[in-house]
């Protein structure tokens, strides 16, 4: 069990519906991380941008982008995290992959598809919450619109890190900032949020506002909006243990069953 978890956040623009160029761009950004880290986090749909044109850009689990993630994880010795468009059994998923250095893959299919953009008409929603055990840390990965639904994120598993990848547009960025902080406070966990920047092919603008919050809701990163940036945050287990043992808020949480 590690006392620290070093997490690299890559806030980046995305080339619209061009997996090959996006893989190249992210390879260069990953190479710019000069110190060893444990986890590298990419945005939602990092290989294409948030598109509904699945017929032309969807990949399989045997495809080039999944293989690229495995190669990068092995090369860096860090887990690589991000979501991409996966076709499986004639169904499309906005699927987050957590790929560890051994090549092992844990998947999480986005639970809350974004109805405002018609995502629910193209992609099938996931049904299972996932907790990843990595280097002694329990990580709960979620995707973009999931952030608006606190019941799904509720910390009933005693996880340490809540991790969001996103394509969250600039006009609603105040909600992104506010809800990331709220999820950290209410779940007494670190929250990592990685969002893209730039314009997509539908002319939606993204400002990034990627961040890491501690269990009290304090930002521990200084990532600037509206620009590409790579930043490493160091998460401390002692911080989690101290405040959970002192405040004991999670012991008073409500019990419920999701349907």
197 touches 226 (CB < 8 A):
yes
Active-site entry in 6, 17, 29, 110: 110
Residue 44 appears among annotated catalytic residues? yes
> Which pLDDT score is estimated for 259?
82
pLDDT tens per residue, range 193-231: 999 999 999 999 999 999 999 999 999 999 999 999 999
pLDDT tens per residue, range 2-18: 999 999 999 999 999 99
Domain spans of the chain? 4-250
Residue 135 appears among annotated catalytic residues? no
Q: Is the pLDDT of residue 149 over 80?
A: yes
Q: For residues 146 and 142, what is the distance between their CA atoms, to the nearest angstrom?
A: 6
Homologous superfamily assigned to 4-250: Carbon-nitrogen hydrolase (3.60.110.10)
Q: What predicted TM-score, i.e. pTM, was given to this entire model? A: 0.98
> Which pLDDT score is estimated for 99?
98
Active-site entry in 6, 17, 44, 231: 44
Active-site entry in 17, 144, 181, 231: 144
Residue 110 appears among annotated catalytic residues? yes
């Amino acid at each position: 069990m590690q006392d620290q978890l070093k997490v690299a956040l890559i806030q980046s623009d995305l080339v619209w519906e061009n997996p090959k160029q996006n893989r190249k761009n992210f390879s260069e950004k990953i190479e710019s991380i000069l110190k060893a880290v444990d986890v590298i986090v990419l945005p939602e749909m990092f290989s294409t941008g948030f598109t509904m044109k699945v017929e032309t850009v969807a990949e399989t689990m045997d495809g080039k982008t999944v293989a690229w993630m495995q190669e990068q994880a092995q090369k860096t010795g860090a887990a690589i995290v991000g979501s991409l468009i996966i076709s499986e059994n004639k169904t499309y998923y906005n699927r987050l992959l957590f790929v560890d250095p051994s090549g092992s893959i844990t998947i999480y299919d986005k639970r809350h598809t974004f109805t405002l953009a018609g995502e629910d008409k193209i992609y099938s929603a996931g049904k299972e919450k996932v907790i990843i055990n990595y280097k002694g840390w329990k990580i709960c990965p979620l995707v973009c619109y999931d952030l608006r639904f606190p019941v799904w994120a509720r910390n009933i598993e005693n996880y340490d890190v809540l991790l969001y990848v996103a394509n969250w547009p600039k006009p609603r960025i105040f909600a992104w900032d506010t809800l990331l902080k709220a999820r950290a406070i209410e779940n007494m966990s670190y929250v990592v949020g990685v969002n893209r920047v730039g314009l997509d092919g539908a002319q939606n603008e993204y400002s990034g506002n990627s961040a890491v919050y501690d269990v009290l809701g304090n930002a521990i990163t200084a990532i600037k909006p509206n620009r590409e940036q790579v930043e490493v945050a160091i998460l401390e287990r002692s911080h989690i243990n101290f405040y959970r043992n002192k405040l004991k808020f999670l012991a008073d949480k409500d019990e419920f069953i999701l349907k």
